[in-house]
């Protein structure tokens, strides 16, 4: 019997491994409504951080649309910021944790909606060194 329990534990382990790829599994269409009621005042209609309540904040709410932020704004980061808030992630406490207002799936949904603000193409992250062009004369 003990062996069985142990086995079950081992089977479950990979799912808990820290390096298991994060999967958001959010529904942006559902998340939009939450964004509009809870986030828009600071993060703005366009997701650029220029909502009426965001303008007065220092630091300002993140700009989801800026290609310069694209590398940082990953599904996992957005999920963590929404769920745990800024303070828990070494950021401004003005970004509160939403785990009280939203359940886990709703957090995933709103995060999926946030991801939609990202520009289609990320800013070239430190242009590939191999493709270095000769300096223009």
Using the minimum distance from each CB to ligand HEC, give the nearer residue, 125 or 135.
Answer: 125
Nearest to 88 by CA among 78, 79, 97: 97
Burial category of 61 from C-beta neighbours within 10 Å (exposed 0-12, middle 13-18, buried 19 and up): buried
| Span interacting with ligand HEC, options 1-9, 17-25, 71-79, 120-128, rule CB under 6 A | 71-79
Determine if 82 is a binding residue for ligand HEC (CB under 6 A): yes
User: According to CB under 6 A, which one of 97, 110, 112, 115 is a site residue for ligand HEC?
Assistant: 110
Q: Distance (Å, rounded) from C-alpha 59 to C-alpha 94?
A: 9
Closest-approach residue to ligand HEC (CB): 62
Got the DSSP string for 91-123? S-TTS---TTTS-HHHHHHHHHHHHTTS-SS--
Determine if 69 is a binding residue for ligand HEC (CB under 6 A): yes
Contacts of 30 (CB under 8 A, 6+ apart): 106, 109
User: According to CB under 6 A, which one of 83, 84, 91, 99 is a site residue for ligand HEC?
Assistant: 91
Determine if 42 is a binding residue for ligand HEC (CB under 6 A): yes
List of residues contacting ligand HEC (CB under 6 A): 34, 38-39, 41-43, 53-54, 57, 59, 61-62, 69, 72-73, 78, 81-82, 86, 91-92, 94-95, 98, 110, 114
């Amino acid at each position: 019997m003990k062996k069985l329990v142990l086995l079950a534990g081992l089977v479950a382990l990979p799912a808990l491994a820290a390096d298991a790829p994060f999967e958001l599994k959010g529904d942006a269409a559902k998340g939009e409504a939450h964004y509009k009621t809870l986030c828009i005042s600071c993060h703005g209609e366009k997701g650029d951080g220029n909502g009426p309540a965001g303008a007065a904040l220092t630091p300002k709410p993140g700009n989801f649309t800026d290609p310069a932020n694209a590398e940082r704004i990953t599904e996992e980061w957005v999920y963590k910021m929404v769920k745990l808030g800024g303070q828990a992630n070494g950021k401004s406490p003005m970004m509160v944790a939403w785990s009280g207002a939203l359940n886990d799936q709703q957090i995933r949904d709103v995060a999926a909606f946030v991801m939609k603000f990202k520009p289609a193409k990320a800013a070239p992250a430190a242009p590939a060194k191999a493709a270095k062009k000769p300096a223009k004369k």
